[in-house]
Structure 1
């Protein structure tokens, strides 16, 4: 679809050369019956140049191509109105280009907001603090958690203060949905002041997508989802259900930065030889969950009673994350592939399949 739009802009751009050629009598243009002065011919040429520039910027993934595109559409449409009899059908590609430019602008604005939130998030982190996770720091933890930390390779290494990771995945919105939507996500964490920002783009079908941002900061959560980057379909923040749910999500995702297990806001209790219960409390928000491990000390499952949704009538349901593939990043073994599932009365609803494919620790600027 990207190349189709590129060719629409390109062809529309080249059509504007006709007005320039007729104005300067460089060619016989029978399709244009109205007289075009040389000054107007220059404007047709400028519109051509703007559209060509916008097309090149678009195909080159330049974030601000929409500015050039909007300028081109405005100039082009003014010319079309002035020469309506001959040029009226040029309004159709202008509408298409305008629509795509508006969507692109909305996405750019969304990404800028997220970037500012990430900058604020990282400004509160202690990335410059160098501290080693030694045996003494884990001695008070249940044996199953000590085994996990040693198996992951974090003992004797620098404490993790910030995390940046990338995910690719597949999402379903409801249990009866048979098809999966492809997704790409980025996520940022801070540990001393527990927080995360998760940004995702989900392709539902050609030309239809939604973007989203989940956030946990200062003990409070928020969720924002926009269809086509324009229309809010979810915008919830700072209520008991979303605060607890995002805290539990942070708690479950410490498996990607295991040194967070010794943080003072997390309390551990051994359940059996392969299971531990964690309770996290931060700035008035509390949540608990079970962590399951195999005999080698690898994390295999996270389970929590979590509100399914943020509405007033949302019910607590068991929410699980199962992970079954492992990789080593910066010497730390973490689970990288798995799925998230709601345990519903009429059966399991696996709504997200994920794979972590890039992780960076203790970077002040973590987005490339």
Structure 2
């Protein structure tokens, strides 16, 4: 009986230690992400915000003009920074269980960059902390178990830099006026699709956007690098629209599926919802 009691006490102490270490590690990772976000947001312009005029859309493919009009950006301030909150679920492989997550993201549109910080519930009392970063043309990614143990890390390099640029392009559906920036060039493919090519810090990436008759973006696809067995390989990747919602007068895609398109079939690995978004408010969310 004494041995059993002692064992329970030891287990309880170990559990408390793990919980404390997890909280400390998660806090450190969160503070680092906050510092990076502040650095990224600080480079955005603080000048008087430009109001988007109908003439600003001239020269763009017709379907892109229709999308921007549908998004209600004309007459609004051009977006320079974004902060947003997400929730949803993700999985690592087809057939594996879905894991719920919440995330916060800060984005600079003028000087392209973002920090995305997510907390994923992998199991009861087991969480993963993930961070994606794109700044000054360089991308990076970290995943840690309980905020303590590294499960994966990708450092800047051509494939990672271009991959995070693809993400920035795909997420333009949350900040449509980014389509007007000089670092993005558009080419019409047909009446309902156009290719966007982004060039920044010596790297280029392109993505095809598909629209419906009403002007909503319904799908985007790019050939993006992913890591498989220690090597980078190219696969089609992109998002599919599920629902739109208006925030602060701007209509954005707020629910979507993110899909890798393999030769063996499509893998829907992420389903997300934007639950809150602010434009041109370059401040961190209060804790």
1:95 pairs with 2:24: no
Compared with structure 1, are the counterparts of its residues 250 and 310 closer, same or farther at alpha carbon in structure 2 (3 Å cutoff)? farther
How far residue 324 of structure 1 moved from its aligned partner, in angstroms, is: 2.3
Q: Contact 1:360 / 1:366 at 8 angstroms: preserved in 2?
A: no
How far residue 361 of structure 1 moved from its aligned partner, in angstroms, is: 0.7
- Deviation per residue, 1:98-125 (Å, 9 max, x gap): 1210111000111110111111111111
Structural mapping, 1:344-355, within 5 Å: 344-355=262-273
Give the equivalent residue in structure 2 for 1:147: 66
Structure of larger gyration radius: 1
1:119 pairs with 2:38: yes
- Deviation per residue, 1:149-188 (Å, 9 max, x gap): 11110011111111011111110111242x2000111111
How far residue 128 of structure 1 moved from its aligned partner, in angstroms, is: 4.2
- Once residues 280 and 274 of structure 2 are traced to their aligned partners in structure 1, the CA distance between those partners, rounded to angstroms, is 17
Select 2:172's aligned residue among 254, 261, 267.
254
Compared with structure 1, are the counterparts of its residues 89 and 227 closer, same or farther at alpha carbon in structure 2 (3 Å cutoff)? closer
Choose 119-128 or 344-353, whichever is displaced more: 119-128
- Once residues 87 and 277 of structure 1 are traced to their aligned partners in structure 2, the CA distance between those partners, rounded to angstroms, is 66
Give the equivalent residue in structure 1 for 2:190: 272
- Once residues 285 and 92 of structure 1 are traced to their aligned partners in structure 2, the CA distance between those partners, rounded to angstroms, is 52
Choose 184-193 or 308-317, whichever is displaced more: 308-317
Q: Contact 2:140 / 2:160 at 8 angstroms: preserved in 1?
A: yes
- Deviation per residue, 1:223-254 (Å, 9 max, x gap): 01101100111111111111111001001101
Select 1:332's aligned residue among 250, 255, 258.
250
Give the equivalent residue in structure 2 for 1:182: 100
Which structure has the highest strand share of the two?
2
Q: Contact 1:236 / 1:310 at 8 angstroms: preserved in 2?
A: no
Select 1:323's aligned residue among 241, 244, 249.
241
Select 1:236's aligned residue among 150, 154, 158.
154
- Once residues 273 and 135 of structure 1 are traced to their aligned partners in structure 2, the CA distance between those partners, rounded to angstroms, is 20
Q: Contact 2:132 / 2:142 at 8 angstroms: preserved in 1?
A: yes
Give the equivalent residue in structure 1 for 2:231: 313
- Once residues 254 and 279 of structure 2 are traced to their aligned partners in structure 1, the CA distance between those partners, rounded to angstroms, is 15
How far residue 136 of structure 1 moved from its aligned partner, in angstroms, is: 2.0
- Deviation per residue, 1:48-101 (Å, 9 max, x gap): xxxxxxxxxxxxxxxxxxxxxxxxxxxxxxxxxxxxxx9897444322211210
Q: Contact 2:83 / 2:282 at 8 angstroms: preserved in 1?
A: no
TM-score (norm 2): 0.94
Q: Contact 1:162 / 1:362 at 8 angstroms: preserved in 2?
A: yes
For residue 227 of structure 2, give the secondary structure of its aligned residue in structure 1: coil
1:281 pairs with 2:199: yes
- Which protein, 1 or 2, shows the higher relative CO under an 8 Å CA cutoff with sep ≥ 6? 2
TM-score (norm 1): 0.74
Give the equivalent residue in structure 1 for 2:110: 192
1:225 pairs with 2:162: no
- Once residues 349 and 280 of structure 1 are traced to their aligned partners in structure 2, the CA distance between those partners, rounded to angstroms, is 26
Q: Which runs of 5+ in 1 are unaligned?
A: 1-85
Select 2:260's aligned residue among 342, 358, 363.
342
How far residue 345 of structure 1 moved from its aligned partner, in angstroms, is: 1.5
Which structure has the highest helix share of the two?
1
- Once residues 180 and 206 of structure 1 are traced to their aligned partners in structure 2, the CA distance between those partners, rounded to angstroms, is 13
